[in-house]
Amino acid sequence: MKIFLDCLASSSCISIGTNAFIISDIELLNEKYPKCEIVLFSSDPEVDKLQFGYLPYKISYIQRSKSQIVAMLQIRRIVSQVDVVVSAWGDGYITVPPYKLLRKTIFLKRQGVPLILFTSSIGPFNGGFKDKLALLGLKKFDAITVRDQNTFEYLKPHGLNRLRLVHDTAFVLEPCSDYRRDELLRQSGLEGGEKFIGLNVSVLMYNLYKERGQDYISLMIEYIEWILNNFEIPIVLIPHQLYPKKMSYTIDEYQSKDGDDRFPIELILSKINKTDRLFALEQEVTPQEVKGVIGKSELFIGSRMHSVIAAISLSVPSLVMQYSHKSEGMMRFLRMPEYVWDINKDFEDLTRRTSALWRDRQIVRAKLNEIMPGIYEDIYDLCNEIERVLESKCA
């Protein structure tokens, strides 16, 4: 079985969250089809081999052309040589213009080859002609799974093929060993058995606030000091996007929206009043290692959705800082919308929600423990969608 996993953009991916669901997809496909070959269409195979090359699976890397026209023809060639196409773009179909979504699916679709969309967030495209273009593209999929309630409700009226609501595949990523987790925490200055609150700060959020003329770093410092004063428990600052050491980049790239979460961490540590209860995970780490550290949190607050997925999947009570409908949609799917803080709300709303989560953390943890087996079961069933599509084509 040869499977094209359409999941990489025209630039190298340094998002721990994106890499988490790509790794999960590769593992899920190999569990369903042992010894299958996964084809990745990569703008920089050497960088992507750093992210995925250690996995014990057969992965082929096709060098993506810098020319968009040539790249589309390359996709067509890849599709002609595989048995299945799985598209896993996360929130790529939120930001991409609808005409690009349509163009992409035209090149991805080949008669007789199942085209499946894995757990993505989509739109909204604000109605009218844009909606029609997006729907033309989406109708080329033989099956669509979306990962958040808002996307599902947006798409449900449009009669798309095999539309299902399934949690993000990153939920099933295995964390690192307890030994490695405790080793990372010790390297950060915290004893492995000590309880802490995990806080993911984001260079994307830093830049969003900057564009609005607001100061994200001051907000995070105020929030950190509020937590330390009210809960008397250490905090570990945790990045969820970072550049590998072997990848070249400029200072501007490091500090950009697509940059490294360690940049705002550095700013916080340089400006906050000195305390012996604030720590930071600043090592180069894999998605499995970050998940292991996050899973040790007593409570977790995340500026990136996938950092919260890492926490929730290990039954850690969590609050998400929302800048996109995908985060609220995920928490609505979990029946926990009260643990979403919209960045347009005030600081008092943030502290109120945090206090409520801290107070009810044992209840929330018990609820997550109860629902997690069903979430895992739905995700592991994803690859059976390929067989269901093949059976429907033969019927």
Tell me the average pLDDT across 285-308: 97
Task: List all residues 6 or more positions away from 139 whose beta carbon is below 8 Å from its beta carbon.
Answer: 160, 161
pTM: 0.94
- 157-178 confidence digits (pLDDT tens): 988 889 999 999 999 999 999 9
Nearest-angstrom CA–CA distance, 92 and 274: 40
What's the whole-number mean pLDDT along residues 199-216?
A: 96
Pairing mode of beta strands 143-146, 163-165 = parallel
Query: Alpha-carbon Rg of the chain, whole angstroms?
Result: 21
Distance CA 118, CA 30 (A): 15
Highest mean pLDDT among 121-125, 190-194, 366-370: 366-370
With bands split at pLDDT 50, 70 and 90, how would you rate the model's confidence at 315?
very high
| N-to-C CA span, the chain | 21
Amino acid 324: pLDDT: 79
In this prediction, residue 219 carries a pLDDT of 97
Distance, CA of 65 to CA of 327 (rounded, Å): 33
The two three-digit tokens of residue 208, written as one number: 């969003």
Counting every residue written for the chain, the total comes to 395
Q: Do domains 2-171+376-388 and 178-314+318-359 have the same CATH topology?
A: yes
Confidence tier at 393 by pLDDT (50, 70, 90): low
Q: Is the pLDDT of residue 242 over 60?
A: yes
Largest CA distance in the chain: 68
Q: Where are the alpha helices (DSSP H) in the chain?
A: 16-32, 45-52, 68-79, 92-95, 98-108, 128-138, 149-155, 178-187, 203-211, 216-231, 251-255, 262-271, 287-294, 305-312, 325-333, 347-359, 361-380, 384-394
What gap in Å lies between CA 290 and CA 306, rounded to an integer?
Answer: 11
Annotation: CATH topology of 178-314+318-359 = Rossmann fold (3.40.50)
Residue 395 has pLDDT above 60, yes or no: no
pLDDT of the residue at 192: 65
Higher pLDDT, 92 or 18: 18
Q: What is the secondary structure of 348-395 as a DSSP string? A: HHHHHHHHHHHHTHHHHHHHHHHHHHHHHHHHHTTTHHHHHHHHHHH-
Q: How far apart are CA 379 and CA 389, in angstroms?
A: 17
Where along the chain do its domains lie? 2-171+376-388, 178-314+318-359
pLDDT at 96 over 70: no
Residue 201 reports pLDDT greater than 60: yes
For domain 2-171+376-388, the CATH architecture is 3-Layer(aba) Sandwich (3.40)
Average model confidence (pLDDT) across the chain: 93
For the cut 90, the answer to whether the pLDDT of residue 27 exceeds it is yes
